[in-house]
Copies of this chain bind each other. A is one copy, B any other.
Amino acid sequence: MMSDDVVPSLPSQRALGDLVTDVLREMITGARFQPGQHLKETELAEALKVSRGPIRQALARLEEEGHVELRRHRGAFVSTLTKTDVEEVHTLRGAIERLAVSRACTRMQGRGFAEMDAVLEQMKSVDTKIVPEDAVRLDLQFHDIIYAYCDHARVQRVWESIRGQVTVFLRARNASFPDFLDVGYSEHKELRDALALGDPQAAQDGIDKHILGAYERLKRLNLPDR
């Protein structure tokens, strides 16, 4: 308000609450907060220089995304990830991504596959062992393309609601099992080729295999049961 930004714009094309949501999500997934930590609206508000309104809006969103738990008259607590969460996120993801690929494989046309190939090219060339975060980013980018081309607003929304947690899991996997950092290209290439057949059934089989593989690895993570 008093801080005259050189760029006074960022004309809030987006709502402030959405920006706050992104900031807090990044802080949580980036482990800037402890699991179980009590996030107080007032503290967050003055830390981010906004009022409690946008903070409340953000916390409500993050609760739907599973990043925080809201307890009445108690407030928001950073979620502790459990094996149950891993199972739920991955089974749900399998269910919707199955639908997504069956639609996307007939809608991607040349342009969609070109986008995918660009990501695959980076997966192959970038040394993800040096910057593991790149592996996470590229993995998500690949799947974002599927959801974008499946042309299904509601599926897109569900994906966005679990995308943050998927990010957390991918990061945790990379931290625990750096060996898997180089299978990214081959596995996604395989899936890309399955999609290229243009057959919904083949696409579904491809994604089943893909998600199952990812889940099997994550189950080995050392997480609390609940």
Interface positions of A (Cβ within 8 A of B): 15, 57, 60, 64, 66, 72, 88-89, 91-92, 94-96, 98-99, 103, 152-155, 157-158, 162
Contact = CB atoms under 8 A, between A and B. Distances in A.
A89 B158 CA distance: 12
For the complex of A and B, 8 pairs with smallest distance between CB atoms? A95-B99, A95-B95, A88-B154, A92-B154, A95-B96, A88-B152, A158-B158, A91-B99
**How many copies of this chain does one complex carry?**
2
A57 B152 CA distance: 25
Nearest to A98: B95
A152 B91 contact: yes
Contact of A162 (B57, B96, B154): B154
A92 B88 contact: no
Contacts of A96: 92, 95-96
B155 A92 contact: yes
A67 to B, nearest CB: 13
Contacts of A103: 91
Nearest to A150: B91
A152 B92 CA distance: 9
A91 B15 CA distance: 31
A92 B158 contact: yes
Given A15-B72, A66-B154, A92-B99, 17 more contacts: A57-B60, A60-B60, A64-B64, A88-B152, A88-B154, A89-B154, A91-B99, A91-B103, A91-B155, A92-B96, A92-B152, A92-B154, A92-B155, A92-B158, A95-B95, A154-B162, A158-B158
A89 to B, nearest CB: 7
